[in-house]
Structures are given as C-alpha cells and as structure tokens.
Chains A and B, each alone.
Chain A
Amino acid sequence: MTARALGLRTWLLQRLSALYMAVYTVIALFWLYLSGPIDFVAWQELLAHPLINIFTQLFIYSLLAHAWIGVKDIFIDYVPNTRLRFVLFITISLLQIILAFWTFMAFYGVVRL
C-alpha cells in the first residue's frame, strides 16, 4: 500500500461506505417496520434471497472498511510511536480481514441460488 492510497482514496472510501450504510439502514428499517415481528426462520428466508444477501453483506463490508479507516486515523493521531502504531495497524487489519471472511462464510451458508 502506498502512502498516497491512505490519503484521498481512504477518505473517499470512508464517505462512500457511510453513504451506503445510511441508505441501507433507512431501507432496512422501513422494510422491517412493514414486515412486522420476525422470527429466526423468517430471517433465514430473507437472507436466502441472493440480492438481499449481497446487499446485506455489502453493508457489513462497508461497516468494516469505515471502521478500519476511522481506527487507522485514531492511530495516526494518537499513537506517535512508529513501532507501536505499526503493530496496532497490522493487528486491526488482520482482525478486519478475519471478520470479513467470517461474514462471507456466514452469508454464503444461508444464500439459496
């Protein structure tokens, strides 16, 4: 990753992910409000639909990317020690990758093609 990628591109990604999450949240809340109380089976049914499955996955990836950029910014601001910052940065990045993989596994398990 070049230094340049951590400037404009991460800034843009943070904004785009925020926008996606905002739109998704409004639509999802509206949907849930209309469909009333939902049990476990209904959740599975809902997420088995490929489009809903993909859009919900995207929401979680957006959340992960958004959080990764925010936490990275906090490290750059508040952790002046380069070595500690590097360790924290690698830790949070690995955690995010694991979470993304876990998300994919979970959603891939319920989708019905």
Chain B
Amino acid sequence: MKFRIHRYNPETDKKPWMQDVEVDIDSSEMVRDALLRIKAKDETLVFRHSCGEGVCGSDAININGVNGLGCLTRLSTLKEPIEIRPVPGMPIVRDLVVDMEQFYKQYRAVKPYLIVKDPEPEIEYQQTPEQREKLDGLYECILCGCCSTFCPSFWWNPDKFRGPAALLQAYRFLADSRDQATEERLADLDGPYKMFRCHTIMNCVNVCPKGLNPTKAINEIKKMMLKDMI
C-alpha cells in the first residue's frame, strides 16, 4: 500500500516535506501497524503510540485530512496514497509528534476534578444510579486531542478558547452530583472566549474516536448558564 508521510526534523530540515513510502501490508490492519512497519525499515520516523487499542490516546494523527487514532483506523477504509500528517494547529516537534502543551493547559484550566466544600464523607461519596448515568458519554474521554486540534475555533484562539475536549470535561464535573462548584465553574466559562468561541461546527463530534459529543456537552453548559441567569 502507498503512503505519504509528513517528515520534519528541525535539526536537519529547513521545511517539512512529504515522504512517499510503499509498504507490504494487509488492508485489514491498522494505520499504526503500517507506521510500525515503516519505522522498522527507517528508524528515523518518529511518532507517538502506546497501547494500540484506543485507550491511551497517544497516537492522534491526521489521516487523509481527518483526525483519528492510528490504532483504530483500519487501512481498508482509506484511499491510497494514505496521507499521514501530525494533528493540525499544534507546534510540530518532529515528524508526526506535536507539542500538546496548549491543549493540556486548557484542560487544566477547567479544574477537571471534584471540588467539594462540605467536609468529606467518612466512608465514601454516594450517588444514585440516575446521577451516575449523567456522566456516561463524558467520563470516557481519553484526552487524545483529536477533537480540539480539529476545531477551527481552537486553531484561531488556542490560548483563549478552552476547546471541545476541555469543555466536555468542564461539563463532566458540572453534571456530577458530588461537585459543589457549579456557580464558579459557570462564571469562569462566561465571556466571549472560553466557551462562546464554539460555533457548533461539530468537527469534534465527527472525529472523536470514542464517539463522544462535545457539542452536546457545550450546549448543556449553555442551558445551565441560562437557568442560572434566570
């Protein structure tokens, strides 16, 4: 199968370039397998990967123009030559590896942890099954960054707009019956940038390898803000 792979080594290359590679591989295998096959021949190729089954979120790449996980994208679903690039909008470290700091910074900014003001319970926090159900479709995020790095609003304002991944997590804690910082979280997200840069483009929904829906989460936050205002 034919591949075109984005190559850039800041120490030797002036500009990024595309390398044409042919690999003898069965189309039932995944993109990650092909990259490993290529690396076995040319060890200078650099990319991130770890678990190989869509759990760690390390190998987010841009495949034929669409973000996805290398380990979950089957070769048979792709048109040749398969173009593999780093996820867009992020500073490139080398080949397919990008600097994710901006993404993590936005994630940290939504305080992705329970904030409880009451004294902590002696044994454990309790939730009804219904309260727990509200977290389905939110907690499964693996922070691969496919969504945020495919969001035009995040490309234009990565320093100010939280991005779909961080906003999904913001709602994950707003929806949690145990969290007691709803007011503060909502107040923090108001204003023109942090959440309202979202124009419901829904690229995030299209590319999420876990099938999550950040746009819906963002709408739920807007609804909570509205109720809070009224």
Contacts and interface: CB of A to CB of B under 8 A. Distances in A.
Given A3-B192, A7-B192, A78 B156 contact: yes
A11 B191 contact: no
B226 interface: yes
B225 interface: yes
Interface in B189-207: 189-197, 199
Contacts of A78: 156
Interface of B: 152-153, 156-157, 189-197, 199, 222, 225-226, 229
Contacts of B152: 77
B222 A76 contact: no
Contacts of A6: 191-192, 196
Interface string A42-77: 000000000000000000000000000000010011
Given A4-B190, A77-B156, A12 B226 contact: yes
Contact of A7 (B156, B157, B195, B199): B195
B157 A11 contact: no
Contact of B191 (A3, A12, A77, A80): A3
Interface of A: 3-4, 6-8, 10-12, 73, 76-78, 80
15 contacts: A3-B191, A3-B192, A6-B192, A7-B189, A7-B194, A7-B195, A8-B190, A8-B222, A10-B196, A11-B222, A76-B192, A76-B193, A76-B197, A77-B153, A78-B156
Contact of A77 (B157, B190, B222, B225): B157
Contacts of A10: 192, 196
A93 to B, nearest CB: 15
Nearest to B153: A77
A12 B197 CA distance: 14
Nearest to B190: A7
B197 A77 contact: yes
Contact of B229 (A8, A73, A76, A77): A8
Residue among B189, B196, B229 facing the most chain A CB atoms (10 A cut-off) = B196
Contacts of B153: 77
